[in-house]
Structures are given as structure tokens and as C-alpha cells.
Chains A and B, each alone.
Chain A
Amino acid sequence: MILGFLPVDSFNVIVLAAVFVLVATGLHFTFGMLNVVNLVHGELILIGAYTTLQMQRTTGNVLLGMALAPLVAAAIGVAMERGVLRFLYDRPLDSLLATFGLSVIIRQVVQFIFSPNPQIVRSPIGGSFLLAGFNIPWWRLIIVLVTGGLIIGVIGFLGRSRFGLHARGTVANPRLAETMGINSGFVRAGLFALGSAIAGLAGAMLAPISTLNPQFGLLFLVNSFLVVIIGGKGSLRGLVVAGIVLGGTLAALQFVMSTVLAQILILAIAIIGVRLRPLLGLLRESNRDPGSIATYSDPIYPQNS
């Protein structure tokens, strides 16, 4: 039975793997690097999707909406970070509560403005083509390519740019970084903006392949956290591997069982993955991995002093 489906739908395995990586990449910045249990991540995806919808309505230009979506999400992300979350970096439970509250507010505002009814964002590039007997929808291929490009760009940016260097220093030890001349507040705000922008881009890219409603972001929240945690919090390389494994497995399981059952199995795989990761060492956090974070004991400002 599986063999009958695989040749036809194997491209969907690749697409779902890319979707998992795409939605989790923004969370890599806010949760993986900044350590904020960012429950508003789903709503940043939602903002990207509804920005695209709004531009489709007002200008008819979906691509313009997709270009604006990261900017709008980044602006809202920075406002949240500067206005609320920057006071809570040392208080993880409070930041969890704050992001939960912000997510509820954003969802309600979106529902108020756009109604709870399902909406459709049309694909800016429709149609499909045949490749070696596979039917490849253009837009899904573009999602895969954009995700690949995004990952390469993020690795290059964090690994080679001055901001990336300062970000890695700030993430490793914000107080030490500050005394070495790094404006850690600016770096944190920048990282939150980048994470939010990527979440907004993900929402914009994914809106045309699903039905849009105010719960849209929640669809991706849990899987984003699973990918970042299983990949090794703070490790981009691990995130990509975990996204491919979880997304690909979910797509394959959906051929033979219901989506709900498949998602439950994915959760079970995730739990096993977290338990086995230290033994396997496959997704070990690497100090060489740009953006990887190490647990540190703060020598500059001991918490118990």
C-alpha cells in the first residue's frame, strides 16, 4: 500500500519537511538563541499570512504582501521585545506567560479585523509541471527552494557577519558581552526582529497552500518547538535534520493513517528522539554551529551573590 503511494506523493514528503524547517527557523532565533519560550511564534506566522491576505485584497498583488509580511512581523516582534520581553530575559516563566498573553491578544485582534471565517490566499505562481513522472506544483517547489536558501543565508549571516559574531557572544553571555562593548539590547532586539521576520515570511509562503483563519498559527507552533528542541536548542544544523526527519515522517505516515494519529506518532518519535539524542550524539550541539548556544554559568554577575 505504501509503495503504491510513494512514487506519486514523495514530493509532498519533501515539501512537508521544508515546511517544518521553515516554520521552526524563526523560533531558532527567539527560543533557540534568546531562550524566550516564545508562544507568540504562531501568531507571528499568522501576521505574515494575514498581511499577505490584506495586500491581496487591497492591491491584488500577493507577492507584494509576501514582501511586506516579514517587515510587519519584524516590527511587531521588536515592539513586543522592547516593550515587554526585554524585562523578562531572566524570568523564563514570566516570559512564557507574557508571550501566551500576547498570542491571545494578537489572535483576537486578527479575528476582530478579518472575522473568524476561513479565507483564501491565492498562489502567486499557480500550476504545476511534470518531472520524471512526478507532478510538481510550482509554488510548493518554491517553498522548498526558499527554505533551502533561507537556511544557507541564516548560517552565513550568523557565521560570517559582525552582527552574527556579536549575537553569538551575547547569547553565550550577555553581561560579559556588554562589558566587552557589545550593545546586548540592540543585538537581542535584532535577533527577535529576525526571528519574527522569518516567522512572518513562513506565514506568507504557507498561506496559499492552506486555508487561513485566526487559528492558522497554532497549527505550526507545537511542531516548531518540537523541531527546535529535538534538533538541540540553538543548533541550526540540528534544526534542519530534525525538521526533515519529523516533517518527512509525518508526510509519509499520512499516507497510511489519519493526520491526527500521524501527529501523535510524531510526538512519540519526538519524545524518543529527545531521550536518545545524548546516546546517539547525532544532533549534538556544536560549538562551531553558528547560533549554537552553550549553557553558561555567568561569572560576571553570579545570581546567588
Chain B
Amino acid sequence: MTPLLEVEDLATGYGQTQVLRGVSFSVRPGEVACIMGRNGAGKTTLLRALMGVLPMTGAVRLSGTDISRWPGHRIHATGMVWVPQEDSVFPGLTVRDHLAIALKDRIDEDEGLAAAGELFPVLGQRLGQEAQTLSGGERKMLALAQALIVKPQVVLMDEPTEGVAPVVVQELIPTIAASTQGAGVVLVEQNIDTALALGETAYLIEQGSVVISGTVRDLHDRGIFEQRLAL
């Protein structure tokens, strides 16, 4: 099957500091590729580069089109969306505003808001509330809803369950799994349980490069995560 997303020999960093070099992987439709690594390995940096936030060298192809020099808004319009790890709400804007920004002209606004409410009912009840007043878990839900309601081709998720109460994680995982069916997913994750629940393939990053790849289950069964992630 032709890959949806192909990353070839990617190198990036901050200013003079190179963080990643020679990173290559691909994601097929319906595949969830987990990017694993210790803190500071460059997992988040990889997603920033893929989303056009950081300058990079190498090639990134989305459905065969080279998007490696594209600005973020154009990448988003082409169908690759990002759920950042960090707080990603705009001060002063309501939940409805955030969803409207994500929707743009792609889907009717009422339809999009209804879809967000179906994914996460709490958001549907709080459309008029300022997003910065939501709880941490609700903000994660908002970030996920913004990404998922546009029916993306590829979703980049940066530790979507980090800092979320275990009971909420139990809700999030099936929702993520159901709403990303058919899409390619790049999942940055340190939580093995989440990786096992959602992931199919795994790429382990150490010192800025992919050092081991395989299926999540196989790497887990061989104890690779325990050894390399110091779990």
C-alpha cells in the first residue's frame, strides 16, 4: 500500500543546535506509528518540523506531494493536523471560536460543532466558555476535537494522554482509535500502555536518530522499551 506520509532523511533543530538527523519512516493509511524515546530525544521536535514550524532538510511527502518547504497553514489545509503536547489554547477565545478556526471552510460549522460534541460531549456543553478556563483534560479534548473534526489524512499527536487523569484516559483512547480510523497517525508517546492500545509500529529515537523500529507489540515483548526508555 502506498504510504500516506513518507519522511526521508529529515534533519532539524533550533538555530545552530541540531536535534534530529537522518530520520526516515513512513505511515500507511490506517496505521498508527509510535515515535518513542526518552525526554529530550527530539520526538516533539520531529512533529514541529513535520508541521512546518521548524526549518528542516530532507523530504516529507504527503500522498506523494513534497510538503517539506510548506508553511503550516498549507500543510493543515492539505490534511495533516497536529495535536500539540503543550497547552494550545488561544487566550480570550471560546471553545466555539477554537472549533471554528479548525473548521474554516471545510465543513459546515454546525456540522463540525455537532461532530465535536459527539466526540467529547463536555465540549458541546461548553461552546461559549473561554477555552483557557477549561481543565487540563478538557483542553486536551479540545485540541483533539480541533484535529479530528476536519477528517484529516494524517494526525500528528504529541502525548495526547499526558497529564490527563487515568479515568479520562480510559475515555480518550477508544475515542482516538475510533475517530482516526483510515487516517495515518504519528503518535509521540512515552506511556507504554497508550502505545500498546493505539500503536501498530514503533520507531525508537536516541541521540537524534531512529535506532530501532518494529511493531509495538514485538518491541514490548522483547523488553526493548524497558531497556531503552529506562522504564
Spell out A's residues near B (CB within 8 Å). Answer: 162, 165-166, 168-169, 172-173, 175-185, 287-289, 292, 294, 296, 299-301, 305
Contacts and interface: CB of A to CB of B under 8 A. Distances in A.
Contacts of A178: 52-53, 71-73
B84 A300 contact: yes
Nearest to A301: B53
B211 interface: no
A181 B101 contact: yes
Contact of B71 (A162, A165, A185, A292): A185
B142 to A, nearest CB: 11
A305 B53 CA distance: 13
A185 B132 CA distance: 25
Nearest to B156: A179
Given A166-B101, A169-B101, A299-B84, A177 B90 contact: yes
Contacts of A166: 101
Contacts of B54: 301
B100 interface: yes
B146 A180 contact: yes
Contacts, number: 81
B41 to A, nearest CB: 14
Contacts of B91: 172, 287, 294, 296
A21 to B, nearest CB: 22
B157 interface: no
B92 A288 contact: yes
Interface of B: 14, 17, 48, 51-54, 71-73, 75-77, 82, 84, 86-88, 90-93, 97, 100-102, 104, 130, 132, 146
Contact of A181 (B87, B90, B97, B104): B104
A77 to B, nearest CB: 22
17 contacts: A165-B97, A166-B101, A168-B93, A172-B91, A175-B72, A177-B90, A178-B52, A179-B73, A179-B75, A179-B76, A179-B84, A181-B101, A181-B102, A288-B92, A289-B92, A294-B91, A300-B48
B84 A165 contact: no
Contacts of B14: 305
Contacts of B82: 179
A230 to B, nearest CB: 21
Contacts of A181: 72-73, 76-77, 101-102, 104
B130 to A, nearest CB: 6
Contacts of A287: 91-92, 130, 132
A162 B72 CA distance: 19
Contacts of B146: 180
Contact of B87 (A182, A183, A292, A299): A299
Contact of A165 (B17, B100, B130): B100
A204 B101 CA distance: 36
Contact of A183 (B73, B84, B100, B130): B73
Contacts of A301: 48, 53-54
B92 A182 contact: no
A287 B92 CA distance: 4
B102 A172 contact: no
Contacts of A179: 51-53, 72-73, 75-76, 82, 84
A300 B86 contact: yes
A146 B178 CA distance: 54
Contacts of B87: 299
A173 B84 contact: no
B92 A172 contact: yes
A176 B48 CA distance: 11
B92 A292 contact: yes
B86 A299 contact: yes
Contacts of B76: 179-181
Given A179-B53, A305-B14, A169 B86 contact: no
B53 A165 contact: no
B154 to A, nearest CB: 13
